Amino acid sequence: MTPRKTLWLACASLCLLSNAEAALNAQGQQEVDGLLRFVESSGCNFIRNGSEHSPKDARAHLQKKLDYLNDKDLLDSAEDFIARGATESSFSGTPYQVSCHGQKQGSAEWLKAELQRLRQNQR
């Protein structure tokens, strides 16, 4: 399968995941913004498709995915953003990882932990 077909199938799959129109409410948008700030300020490299990217580049990439998902009304929570935009490559399906202080972990777990911390700080 060509990369273009793979990308098209990934995008089509994202569209099918949503059975109703969705939209981030103010709290969801605030949480996602907080996650993006966290990514950029973390000092951790973002690994996608086998290549490491700076925190600034990672934020820019995730922002593009966020914009796409918002345009398609595929998000209604920060959890949706993590699951649909920040967990794996839409192109290859390869899970994203982060490398912090020489240790690697999945981006989903890393971002879920930060989301929990953000929510606890809001109380």
Phi, psi of 72 (to 5 degrees): -90, 5
Residues in the chain: 123
From 71, 56, 55, 62, select the one nearest 32 (Cα to Cα). 62
pTM: 0.80
What is the number of structural domains in the chain? Answer: 1
For residue 95, the enclosing domain spans 3-122
* Residue 3 confidence (pLDDT): 53
Q: Which of 5, 34, 20 is nearest to 116 (CA)?
A: 34
The chain-wide mean pLDDT, for the chain, equals 87
Residue 2's pLDDT band, with cuts at 50, 70 and 90, is: low
Provide the pLDDT confidence category of residue 89 given band limits of 50, 70 and 90.
very high
Q: What is the pLDDT of residue 123?
A: 79
Please, what is the angle between helix 107-122 and helix 78-85, to 10°?
A: 170
Paired sense of beta strands 97-100 and 45-48, if any: antiparallel
> Which pLDDT does position 4 carry in this prediction?
55
